[in-house]
A and B are shown apart, each in its own frame.
Chain A
Amino acid sequence: MSTPGEMGTEDWPLWEVFIRANRGLSHVHVGSLHAPDAEMALRNARDLYTRRNEGISIWVVEATAVTTSDPDRKGEFFESPAGKNYRHAIYYTRAEGVKHL
């Protein structure tokens, strides 16, 4: 097991933290933290983000493992649904005689 910091130059990697508040809910991103490895990241997350009974389950993911969409290109990326009302169910009229809709 190598120890981050042994070269005196590198920092601990960044981890993204997801907490599930209750059974049946999804894990929600709550923030990020530094830790030398995954096990310590879980423990740091417990100290930082569950101090007031916020959760019953924690996921940590190394930040470099998360691929993000480009905020500068959100125009092209997210706005194309505009004007495509046929993507919404409400666009369609119900055919006569169709039940349970």
Chain B
Amino acid sequence: MSTEEEIDVHGDVSIEELDLAAELPGSGRTATPEIAEYATRLGDDALILSQQLGWWISRAPELEEDLALGNIALDLLGHARAFLNFAGTASGRDEDEMAFMRDEPEFLNCWLVEQPGQDYGPMLARQLYFSAYQVQLYTALEHSADESLAAIGAKARREVTYHLDHSIMWTLRLAGGTEESRRRLIVALDDMWPYVDELFEDDDLTNSLDGVAVRPSSLREGFDATLAAVFAEAELELPTAKPAATGGRQGRHSTPFGYILAEMQWLARRHPGAKW
């Protein structure tokens, strides 16, 4: 082949200056099966919530809010990629196989991220609870004995701190807005509350990974303190709804989850290995 023929018709495109490794903190190591399962839980939480927030793109009430939600969704997708990339090393799967080729019982995300949020109230309640949890989680994960998990936690912590700030800002504004906005916010905060307890459940896996995984129950105190402050400022009562029967960490999911997966996976399954 002559030199002329080798010239790329798209010209000289180079992204060498961008640090591509920074996209996947903690990559380059192989996870043990136990650590992979833990990373899958965290990655699936981030992936499914990212997919859910993606629904809002072009639907938010203002362009600026559209971008804010899109930014949060992309941050979460970044966390999901890092976790699932790492988790996949235990079984020889890449991040795309982890995201698109697993079936419902293989997903280990919590039920909170599966809940419908196609109204601003439920979307915000879901985000407020989950971001408050993630701030606690990643702050602790930064000190994990596993260096990949620690690297992901360190990068993600700053991002979720902003997500929480965004959710708090809107909670205060909708709580202090009109009677209608306050009423709908309260309904949404109550409806999402039963799915909060699952976030803080210890089990055999997290117990056996002491020092590597964050013990979920240890995050509850900081989460409660965050929410107590927000609810006090918004002059809201803390919800009292009883916990729902869940099971996401064991691969049991709520009814809406199948639809979320179908929409997320159909293209990749219809055209396996496709690139664009």
Interface residues of A (CB under 8 A from B): 1-3, 5-6, 12, 33-37, 39-40, 43-44, 46-48, 51
Contact = CB atoms under 8 A, between A and B. Distances in A.
Contacts of B61: 5
B169 to A, nearest CB: 6
Contacts of B71: 47, 51
Nearest to B165: A43
B67 interface: yes
A3 B177 contact: yes
Contact of B64 (A3, A5, A33, A37): A33
B181 interface: yes
A44 B68 contact: yes
Interface string B169-212: 10011101110010000000000000000000000000000000
Given A1-B173, A3-B173, A35 B64 contact: yes
A34 B67 contact: no
Contact of A12 (B62, B165, B166): B62
B96 to A, nearest CB: 25
Interface residues of B, number: 19
Contacts of A48: 64, 67
A31 B265 CA distance: 38
Specify the main secondary structure of chain B where it touches its partner.
helix
Nearest to B69: A47
B71 to A, nearest CB: 5
Interface of B: 61-65, 67-68, 71, 162, 165-166, 169, 172-174, 176-178, 181
B175 to A, nearest CB: 9
A66 B48 CA distance: 44
Contacts of B181: 3, 6
Contact of A6 (B63, B67, B178): B178
A90 B65 CA distance: 53
A80 to B, nearest CB: 41
A39 B168 CA distance: 12
A46 B64 CA distance: 10
Closest 4 CB pairs of A and B: A3-B177, A1-B176, A44-B64, A6-B178
Given A3-B174, A3-B181, A6-B178, A39 B68 contact: no
A2 B179 CA distance: 11
A3 B178 contact: yes
Contacts of B169: 39-40, 43
B179 to A, nearest CB: 9
B158 to A, nearest CB: 13
Contacts of A33: 64
A6 B65 CA distance: 17
B172 A1 contact: yes
Nearest to A5: B61
Contact of A47 (B67, B174, B177): B67
Contacts of A39: 169
B103 to A, nearest CB: 35
A3 B224 CA distance: 27
B68 A43 contact: yes
A37 B173 CA distance: 10
B68 A1 contact: no
A34 B177 contact: no
B64 A34 contact: yes
Taking each of B61, B165, B177, which has the highest tally of chain A beta carbons within 10 Å of its own beta carbon? B177
